Structure 1
Amino acid sequence: MPMKALVYVLYGPYRMCKLTAQHRTFRLEGLLTVLRKDGHEIILQETEDWNCVELVVNGETVFQCKIDELDFGGDGKLDPLCEEARKAVLDAY
């Protein structure tokens, strides 16, 4: 995979602190930081899939997880899911 890929980040609504379900990017901050640090271009897209994050490269889903499993805020260095997602994007074809 080229060092700089176009990565679509599809994310759905989730419930935070028993508030109404909404599309929020707070938990995506670490993931986005890790991917941008590698030089990837990021496009965020809201979906209706509840509590879901998918990374799509070249039309193929290379990584997915529940959004509430990602660490809140931060730079993603200590979040093992961010590292797993980073490797999945680098290994994408």
Structure 2
Amino acid sequence: TKSIEAIAVGTPVITTINGAIGIDTTTTGTMLQVASVENWIDFAEKIYAISTQNENQFQTPTSFYDHYNWNQIIERTIDLLPN
């Protein structure tokens, strides 16, 4: 997804709960922030907060790369296949 690609290159992502479907949020650290669809003020505040931070503060956690590594994805897929 676009969000996974953005996080992989060090770009923080703000999305809604629907936009985060399928993303393992335990691996994203602060690089993925989820805002409520009903609370656009929260969404705007998250955008503002990110825009005022130094670019060097955005670091994608190693756990993200470990989880979304193609070798890991292939292993998890094989585990789902019937023997």
By relative contact order (CA 8 Å, sep 6+), the higher-ranking structure is 1
- Scaled by the length of structure 1, the TM-score of the pair is 0.25
Higher helix share: 2
- Which structure is higher in strand share? 1
